[in-house]
């Protein structure tokens, strides 16, 4: 009986879901908030807010110190969070989940630890032109130090990675390929499985930046067969300041530590220090305990839904937005790949994206404008930036109507 109950999923009802997110009840600039900036960060359900508050109210203590009951309770919840995240991406073991501050720090950790130990003069790293700066700059920093090169794989005018160009660039001097699973600017879902398999065929490692993927569809690191997978809690209904680096065990074990300090050591002496095992070798200092507990609450929250229903809802929002966009005079959609999730990027003829964003904000509609930390991609399209509406499970079709009504006003004002 119990196991049947625990497998039961909460049926999808967007109005019920909205009640779980207290921030959505707000008025902004005199209008009910329409939050369409989910690719920047998602809102947090009560379950997450309450879990963090409960931690501080009832079990706040440092972890892995074991000296008293609160510390035991905090440690248990902190490690339970790691196990939940391991299940979430189907990691073979919890110790392959390394807590970081987010995707940015996860990628920097790989560049710093793996890159410095393994790259040599003449080596190459491939990224695509549609990467977030956090999947470009860490590689540039380490390559500069080691005499290696970062090379971009071209992106076509639909916003898709040009696989021919990728195969042309791929040879045995390529030591690592780092690609995002979903573009934060366009929402295009990249063919990461093909990229991972091809990278492996020349002996290169493959890093997947999953920051924009995990909130939209299930991810299985074993099916993908990637070497590293990175993501942030805050884009997945969890708190800011915490994320995950998932890595292949052998690779993580072979890498030197990231930062030195407490927790990451086994023995410290002036004649030589030895390091802790996984995952602690990479987790120097007091971790974000409340963040990990909040992250677990976010994943638990998501797990009560049938993900296919959530995906279908988001798909229908995007299709509706594309349909209204087609009928709207003077919109140019940027990124027209057939495989997109959660993002509608566009320009209004003759209007600067920042002005469009400001006029929408005055009507209570939150979107993001600018280059979205992807300047090389802006260059591909020869544009300074876009207006980006990005969707989540709590958005409604009525909110997309509000977006287009807002755009109509903005157009009249600006054109
Ligand atoms: N990669 C992608 C694709 C992103 O969208 C983001 C966040 N916008 C990042 C990396 C960086 O994530 P964070 O700021 O959480 O470290």
Q: Please list the helix, strand and coil fractions of the chain in percent, rounded to the nearest 5, in that order.
A: 45, 20, 35
Say whether both 372 and 358 belong to one domain.
yes
Domain boundary among 240, 273, 303: 303
Q: How far is the centre of ligand 1, averaged over its atoms, from the C-alpha of 211 (Å)? A: 5
CATH number, residue 364: 3.90.1150.10
Q: Per the omega criterion (within 30 degrees of 0), is the bond before 391 cis?
A: no
Q: Which atom of ligand 1 is least distant from the CA of 103?
A: 16
Residue-wise pLDDT for 333-378, tens only, equals: 999 999 999 999 999 999 999 999 999 999 999 999 999 999 999 9
User: Which residues of 76-120 form beta strands (DSSP E)?
Assistant: 97-100
Domain boundary among 303, 325, 354: 303
Among 105, 130, 134, say which to mutate for ligand 1: greatest number of ligand atoms within 8 Å of CB: 134
CA-angle at 243, arms to 231 and 296, nearest 5°: 105
188 lines ligand 1 (CB under 6 A): no
Q: Would you say 30 and 364 are in contact if contact means Cβ atoms under 8 Å apart? A: yes
Residue-wise pLDDT for 280-338, tens only, equals: 999 999 999 999 999 999 999 999 999 999 999 999 999 999 999 999 989 999 999 99
Say whether both 340 and 296 belong to one domain.
no
Say whether both 185 and 257 belong to one domain.
yes
103 lines ligand 1 (CB under 6 A): yes
Say whether both 338 and 229 belong to one domain.
no
Domain presence at residue 145: yes
Domain boundary among 276, 303, 330: 303
| Residue-averaged pLDDT of the chain | 96
**In this structure, what is the dihedral angle of CA atoms 48, 52, 58, 62, given to the nearest 10 degrees?**
140
102 lines ligand 1 (CB under 6 A): yes
Residue-wise pLDDT for 71-97, tens only, equals: 999 999 999 999 999 999 999 999 999
Tell me: pLDDT of 231 over 90.
Answer: yes
Say whether both 179 and 299 belong to one domain.
yes
Least confident among 4-8, 23-27, 117-121: 4-8
Going across the sheet that includes 149-153, the strands are: 97-100, 243-247, 228-232, 205-209, 174-180, 124-128, 149-153
How many structural domains compose the chain? 2
Q: Is 337 helix (H, G, I), strand (E, B) or coil?
A: coil
Say whether both 180 and 269 belong to one domain.
yes
Residue 313: give the domain boundaries. Answer: 306-410
Q: How far is the centre of ligand 1, averaged over its atoms, from the C-alpha of 2 (Å)? A: 39
Say whether both 279 and 355 belong to one domain.
no
Domain presence at residue 39: no
Say whether both 404 and 276 belong to one domain.
no
Tell me: pLDDT of 401 over 50.
Answer: yes
Tell me: pLDDT of 229 over 80.
Answer: yes
Q: Which atom of ligand 1 is least distant from the CA of 372?
A: 8
Say whether both 237 and 337 belong to one domain.
no
Domain presence at residue 165: yes
Q: Which atom of ligand 1 is least distant from the CA of 131?
A: 3
When pLDDT is cut at 50, 70 and 90, the band that residue 7 belongs to is low
When pLDDT is cut at 50, 70 and 90, the band that residue 150 belongs to is very high
Domain presence at residue 12: no
399 lines ligand 1 (CB under 6 A): no
Domain presence at residue 273: yes
Domain presence at residue 3: no
Among 184, 208, 371, 372, say which to mutate for ligand 1: greatest number of ligand atoms within 8 Å of CB: 184
134 lines ligand 1 (CB under 6 A): yes
Say whether both 116 and 72 belong to one domain.
yes
When pLDDT is cut at 50, 70 and 90, the band that residue 66 belongs to is confident
Which two tokens mark 51? 């879990």
Among 127, 232, 243, 340, say which to mutate for ligand 1: greatest number of ligand atoms within 8 Å of CB: 232
Catalytic machinery residues: 373
Say whether both 296 and 162 belong to one domain.
yes
Instruction: Find, among 409, 377, 397, the residue nearest to 324 by Cα.
Output: 397
Say whether both 343 and 387 belong to one domain.
yes
Task: Say if residue 163 is exposed, middle or buried (CB neighbours under 10 Å; 0-12, 13-18, 19+).
Answer: middle
pTM: 0.97
Contacts 24+ apart (CB under 8 A), 278-281: 278/95, 278/96, 278/98, 278/249, 278/252, 278/253, 279/82, 279/94, 279/95, 279/96, 279/97, 279/98, 279/99, 279/252, 280/64, 281/252, 281/257
Q: How far is the centre of ligand 1, averaged over its atoms, from the C-alpha of 72 (Å)? A: 33
For ligand 1, atom 12, the nearest C-alpha belongs to 103
CB atoms within 10 A of CB 362: 16
Tell me: pLDDT of 3 over 80.
Answer: no
Domain presence at residue 14: no
Domain presence at residue 380: yes
């Amino acid at each position: 009986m119990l196991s049947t109950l625990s497998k039961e999923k909460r049926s999808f009802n967007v109005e019920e879901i909205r009640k779980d997110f207290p921030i959505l009840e707000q008025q902004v600039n005199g209008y009910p908030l329409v939050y369409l900036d989910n690719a920047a960060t998602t809102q947090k359900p009560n379950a997450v807010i309450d879990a963090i508050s409960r931690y501080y109210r009832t079990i706040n203590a440092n972890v892995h110190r074991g000296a008293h009951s609160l510390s035991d309770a905090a440690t248990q919840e902190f490690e339970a969070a790691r196990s939940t995240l391991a299940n979430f991406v189907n990691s073979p073991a919890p110790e392959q989940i390394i807590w970081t501050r987010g995707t940015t720090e996860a990628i920097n950790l790989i560049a710093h630890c793996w890159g410095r130990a393994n790259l040599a003069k003449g080596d190459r790293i491939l990224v695509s032109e549609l990467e977030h700066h956090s999947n470009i700059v860490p590689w540039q920093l380490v390559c500069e130090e080691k005499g290696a090169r970062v090379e971009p794989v071209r992106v076509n005018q639909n916003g898709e990675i040009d696989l021919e160009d990728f195969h042309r660039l791929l040879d045995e001097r390529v030591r690592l390929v780092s690609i995002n699973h979903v573009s934060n600017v366009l929402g295009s879902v990249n063919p990461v499985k093909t990229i991972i398999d091809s990278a492996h065929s020349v002996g290169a490692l493959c890093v997947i930046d999953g920051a924009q993927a995990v909130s939209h569809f299930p991810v299985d690191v074993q099916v993908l067969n990637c070497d590293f997978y990175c993501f942030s809690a805050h884009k997945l209904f969890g708190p800011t300041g915490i994320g995950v680096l998932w890595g292949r065990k052998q690779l993580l074990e072979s890498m030197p530590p990231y930062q030195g300090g407490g927790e990451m050591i086994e023995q410290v002496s002036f004649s030589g220090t030895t390091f802790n095992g996984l995952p602690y070798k990479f987790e120097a200092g007091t971790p974000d305990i409340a963040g990990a507990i909040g992250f677990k609450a976010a994943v638990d929250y998501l797990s009560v839904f049938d993900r296919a229903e959530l995906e279908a809802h988001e798909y229908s929002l995007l299709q509706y937005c594309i349909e209204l966009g087609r009928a709207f005079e003077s919109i140019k959609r940027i990124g027209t790949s057939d495989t997109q999730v959660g993002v509608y990027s566009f320009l209004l003829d003759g209007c600067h994206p920042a002005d469009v964003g400001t006029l929408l904000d005055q009507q209570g509609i939150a979107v993001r404008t600018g280059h979205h930390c992807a300047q090389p991609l802006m260059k591909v399209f020869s544009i300074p930036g876009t207006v980006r509406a990005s969707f989540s499970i709590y958005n409604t079709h009525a909110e997309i109507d509000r977006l287009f009504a807002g755009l109509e006003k903005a157009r009249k004002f600006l054109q």
